[in-house]
Amino acid sequence: MKTLFAFILALICSTTLFAQPSEFAKSVDMSPLSDNVAVFTDGRVKSFETFARSYMPYIMGSKSFEGQAVSFTYFDMMILPERYYGQDIIYVKHKGLRAAIIGEVDITDPQTKERMDRFMKTGLVSREVLQSQTVSKLLNSLRKDVRRFATPIEGISGAMGASDPRSLWGSLKLIPPPSGSFNQPWSTLEGAEDQNIIESWRRLTEAWQDGNADEVNVELKQLAVLIPALAKGSDIYPSPSKLWLESIYFRMGNFTSIWLVYLVSVVLLLMAFVYRFKRVGNIGLFIFTIAVLLNTLAVVWRWYVSGRYPNTNMFEAITTAAWMGGVFGVFMECFVRKTAMKYIFALGSGIAAMVALLAVRLYPLELNPQVSNKMPVLHDIWLYIHVNFIIFAYCLIFVAAVCAIIYLIRRIVQKTKHQNGKQDYARAGGVASLVEVRPDKKGGTTPALKSNMGSVLDGATMILVELSFILLWAGIVMGAIWADHSWGRPWGWDPKEVFALNTFLIFVVLIHARIKVQDKGLWTAWLALLGCAVMLFNWIIINFTISGLHSYA
């Protein structure tokens, strides 16, 4: 419990809390520029804040330099590159590569050893270490191992290149085309013709080099007014409110902290479900609803700042799946509020959403939250239909697995108490257990589902399995329809297609095995869990390790 608490605390408190930025860094207020000036990058314009947050991870991963704001570090690295000489600013993601690099460094000096130990933990190392003869030689030789090391070493080269002040300058395309034309390229400040901007920039760089924060702040405010004014009268420049909202969205960590709200609701709902604490359950449901509303706000916010429905990359697919799970949980709780299944859907959805949001928070490099343009092939209505069916199905499969795990835990507990839980299952099936009726003692009818926890959990699992079964199949069919008119063939045996089919096969086995086996609840739970594992395998290993045509999703 202590470990869990420490883990949660560590997640809440980012590393920046412990790092100490310089006085100058503390005094410079980048927000006027960050929130009001747009930067062009690959067919999109972003607020400078967002741009810096998308650029700096190429250099430093998800780490910050001495607790500085990312936008500050961008300018500082560009204007005062010498400050970063010898500093650990290049992020090496691959742990095997870190160890190999350390093996080439002379660590007899205790200070170097300490630094290398830190490198092993954080992944941050200086350019100078990477450029040393022995390490360069190592990297050149490992680069030939295309499958294992070529990509991480390219990442290192990319980080070194990106940290070059010339790259930082060349990427900072702040100046819109004078014609205001949609198809004309944007330029760096070198392309600025407005003397006020040129002068202001000169004063800014001088003040920055002198460490004069007051003067820097004045010029940042000045540029924040002058640069957007260049696009006056054309619609290529984003509105100030959109830029501001975009900056806030990323500054708030893409609202992934909502996982904490889900966590609170999950704790309460679990207590309510297990011990039938009605008041605790109601509070849990209330907090769960708040979490879903916040999640909805995050999705809508992203929808607005990206200019499109958020489902075109892994980050968006996972966060949207979390939101879908939350909405589904609220809907189902309304539907089953007077049955024995109360709390279970909110609990399952809450855990699913919490895990999803936690995953994108913990793995910002793999699940990149940056907003980018859609691949050309994704500009199609089927993107919205097929992908949403699939991610909703995947979300339900995860929720079903949560119910199955709780069921299995209960069975283990029963076993320790020498109780037989074999008979605790939903006899009529999933939805049927709520719809179908059996006679009650008063001569009326009552839902076919029995109120013992095993039956409830099994029934909930089956409801989720049945729905995900249809959604997954329909999603696969819709994907085939899209593939047919996109790639000229409906089915190409791409790994992603095959493992979506494999996930479906597991559920086909589940439904048929349930007819034949005696211990229906146990088989259902294990197969639901297996189906979830195959689904996760498809979403994680197939996507990141085994490439295919669906590598963008």
Partner 1 sequence: MKQQSPTLLRFPGSLLWLLPLIGLLLLFWNTDTVGSVWWYIAIPALVACVLIELFTTVWFGITILVLLFFYCSIGSSGVPISFAIWEPSAWVNLREMPGLEMTEFEWFHWWPFKWLVAILCLNMSIVTIRRIPLNILTAGVWTIHIGVVVMVIGSVVYFSQKIEGDVLVSRRNVVIQVQGGDPVSMVVTPSNTIEINGTSFAITDINPNWELLSGDDIGKKTYAVTISVDSQDESFMRQLIAGYPEYTEDIIRSDDPDQPMSRAKNVLGTALVDETLQMSLEYDAKDTFYVTQSGAIYIRGLSSTGVPETEWQERPISKLPRFNDYISGYDEVRTPGTPEAHAQTINPLTLHVPPQSADDPIEGDIIVSSYLRYAFMDSQTTGGGTELFPTVWVTLRKGNEAVQSLEMYAFDPQSSTADVSLMTYKWLTNENELNTLKKSLSATLFATVGGEHIPLQITNNPEFQPIGDSTFSYRIQSIQNNLAIGNNLVSLAQVELKNGEKTWVRWVFDSPEMNRDVVEGKDHDGANFIDDTITMEYSPGSAPITIVGGIEDGKHLLLTALTGDEPTETVMEVGSVINLTPEVTITLDKAEAYARTVTKPTIVPAVQRDPSASNMYSMVQVVIPSPDGTSTVWLPYHHYPFESEQDAVRRFQFKPTALQLPNGKIIEMMFSRRSAKLDAPVVLDSFEVDSHLGGFTGRTSSILNWRSLIKFLDGSEDTIAVSVNDPKPHGDFWFFQSQWDPPDPASQGLNYTVLGVGNRHGIFPMLFGCCLTVAGMVWAFYVKPTIKRKRQQAAYTEVAS
Q: What is the DSSP letter of 132?
A: S
Please select the residue that binds partner 1; options are 86, 379, 409, 412, rule is CB under 8 A. 379
Q: Are strands 437-439 and 445-447 parallel, antiparallel or unpaired?
A: antiparallel
Instruction: Work out which of 499, 525, 532, 539 binds partner 1, going by CB under 8 A.
Output: 499
Give me the residue label for tokens 């941050």. 124
Residues 182-221 contacting partner 1, CB under 8 A: 182-186
Partners of residue 38 on adjacent β-strands = 47
13 scored as a contact of partner 1 (CB under 8 A): no
**Does the protein bind partner 1 through residue 429 (CB under 8 A)?**
yes
Q: Is 305 exposed, middle or buried (0-12, 13-18, 19+ CB in 10 A)?
A: buried
DSSP characters for 310-350?
A: S-SSHHHHHHHHHHHHHHHHHHHHHHTTTSTTTTHHHHHHH
485 binds partner 1 (CB under 8 A): yes
Residue 233 sits in the site that holds partner 1 (CB under 8 A): no
The amino acid present at 293, given as its one-letter code, is L
- 508-547 residues in contact with partner 1 (CB under 8 A) are 508-509, 512-513, 515-516, 537, 540-542, 544-547
Smallest distance from partner 1 to CB 173, Å: 8
For residue 302, the Cα-to-chain-centroid distance in whole angstroms is 12
Which one of 380, 414, 427, 536 is in contact with partner 1 (CB under 8 A)?
Answer: 380
- The least distance separating partner 1 from the CB of residue 493, rounded to whole angstroms, comes to 4
Nearer to partner 1 by Cβ, of 375 and 413: the residue is 375
Q: Minimum distance between the CB of residue 526 and partner 1, rounded to whole angstroms? A: 13
Least distance to partner 1 from the beta carbon of 391, Å? 18
Q: Identify the three-state secondary structure at position 186.
A: coil
Distant-in-sequence, close-in-space partners of 89: CB < 8 Å, separation ≥ 6: 59, 60, 65, 77, 124, 126, 127, 163
Q: Which is nearer to partner 1, 50 or 265 (CB)?
A: 50
Is 179 a residue that touches partner 1 (CB under 8 A)?
no
Between 160 and 236, whose beta carbon lies closer to partner 1? 236
Subset of residues 116 to 175 that bind partner 1, contact rule: CB under 8 A: 144-148
Q: How far is CA 532 from the centre of its chain?
A: 19
- In the complex, the smallest distance separating the C-beta of residue 266 from partner 1, rounded to whole angstroms, is 28
Of the ranges 25-33, 105-113, 345-353, 498-506, which one interacts with partner 1 (CB under 8 A)? 498-506
Cα dihedral value 114, 118, 120, 122, nearest 10 = -170
Question: Shortest distance, CB of residue 438 to partner 1, whole angstroms?
Answer: 7
439 belongs to the binding site for partner 1 (CB under 8 A): yes
Give the whole-angstrom CA distance, residue 368 versus residue 358: 13
Bridge-based pairing of strands 44-47 and 88-91 is unpaired
Binding-site size, partner 1 (CB under 8 A): 78
**Is residue 411 close enough to count as binding partner 1 by CB under 8 A?**
no
CA distance 78 to 24: 16
Q: Which of 200, 292, 494, 529 binds partner 1 (CB under 8 A)?
A: 494
Span 449-478, contacts to partner 1 by CB under 8 A = 466-467, 469-470, 473-474, 477
Q: Which residue is it, tokens 């029995």?
A: 450
| Residue closer to partner 1 (CB basis): 202 or 438 | 438
Least separation in angstroms between CB 550 and partner 1:
12
Smallest distance from the beta carbon of 161 to partner 1, in angstroms?
A: 15
Taking the C-alpha atoms of residue 71 and residue 25, their distance in angstroms, rounded to an integer, is: 10
Closer of 233 and 376 to partner 1 (Cβ): 376
User: Footprint of partner 1 on residues 274-313 (CB under 8 A)?
Assistant: none
Element (H, E) at 525: helix 520-537
Choosing from 82, 110, 417, 443, the residue that interacts with partner 1 (CB under 8 A) is: 443
User: How far is 21 from 547, CA to CA, in rounded Å?
Assistant: 41
Nearest to 71 by CA among 46, 92, 48, 87: 48
Both tokens of residue 239? 């509105």
Residue from 42, 195, 232, 518 in contact with partner 1 (CB under 8 A)? 42
- Name the amino acid, one letter, at 141: S
Between residues 391 and 426, which has the closer beta carbon with respect to partner 1? 426
Tokens 């697995």 belong to which residue? Answer: 401
Q: How far is the CB of 547 from partner 1 (least distance, A)?
A: 7
What are the φ/ψ torsions at residue 449 (nearest 5 degrees)? -70, 130
Residues with Cβ within 8 Å of 155's Cβ and at least 6 positions away in sequence, in order, are 92, 93, 94
User: Measured from the CB atom, is 110 or 233 closer to partner 1?
Assistant: 233
